[in-house]
Amino acid sequence: MSVTAKLRPAKIRSALKRRWFERMVPRLDLTPMPGLVDVGTSYGGWTIPVDLVTADWTCWCIGAGGDITFDLQLLDRGALVRAFEPAPLYVEHAREQAAGRDRFTAQQVAIATEDGPLRLQVSHHEGSSSVSSANLYDTEDAFIEVPGRTLASLKAELGDERVDLLKLDIEGAEYDVMKGVDLQALGVSVFSTQLHHTGSVADARALIAGVQRQGYALVACRPVIKLTFVRKDLLPG
């Protein structure tokens, strides 16, 4: 690749926006909560109040990616874990990593604002199979099409009474998707999501405020803006 290609203006602007976003958004007020634990690897993990997770929990891990250590540790606590991932290679990898675990399923699907086919951009990063419906990546001609589903229609189809833990990592589409999500109606106790620079700092803060208005407290923020919220009535005291 030539120096000119590496230094395309659009790529430079995207990198600068990402760095600014990741610098500004973590300046958040967190609600103190004991018992928070980093679950999974430093790359694929999330910070959650792990002692809340019991064998009767149903956990939806949306955006499996290439690292399902978080999912596997939830399985170790006896929970039912459902992984949802649009990239076929990552779905296959998840099934291989959890082979023999009867309380784990992995389904190829993209979370969307409505049901129907969804066109997703393929990552430009070498060695990555990640995809995005929100133009997160620096590619212009690499796309796949997968089924798009809303959280509510998936819950109705699967027959889950509630989604106790919802992890949502959907490569920049979180801003549109979360506008129509009722966490209380889904039965969510713990909600984790990663925020991406497809939105502005104002968009990120609006999403956080929207989740808080639904009755959830922000209790953790990991690097690259991985946030965890807990339903307020589950907080100690």
The first and second tokens of residue 131, run together, are 């995809």
pLDDT band, very low/low/confident/very high, at 9 (cuts 50, 70, 90): low
Nearest-angstrom CA–CA distance, 101 and 75 = 8
pLDDT at position 237, please? 77
pLDDT band, very low/low/confident/very high, at 2 (cuts 50, 70, 90): very low
Strand (E) or helix (H) holding 218: strand 216-222
71-112 per-position pLDDT tens digit: 999 999 999 999 999 999 999 999 999 999 999 999 999 999
Strand (E) or helix (H) holding 62: strand 58-62
146 with 109: CB under 8 angstroms?
Answer: yes
CATH among 3.40.50.150, 3.65.10.10, 3.30.428.10, 3.30.70.380 for 3-108+158-234: 3.40.50.150
Q: Are strands 58-62 and 165-168 parallel, antiparallel or unpaired?
A: parallel
In sign, the C-alpha dihedral spanning 57, 61, 67, 70 is negative
Nearest-angstrom CA–CA distance, 177 and 50 = 26
SS3 content of the chain, % helix, strand, coil (to 5): 30, 25, 40
Q: Is the pTM of this model over 0.85?
A: yes
pLDDT at position 4, please? 45
Domain residue limits, the chain: 3-108+158-234
Q: What is the mean pLDDT of residues 117-146?
A: 76
Strand (E) or helix (H) holding 110: strand 110-111
Q: What is the mean pLDDT of residues 14-36?
A: 84
Nearest-angstrom CA–CA distance, 77 and 57 = 9
Identify which has the larger pLDDT, 118 or 36.
Answer: 36
Beta bridge partners of 191: 166, 229
pLDDT band, very low/low/confident/very high, at 114 (cuts 50, 70, 90): very high
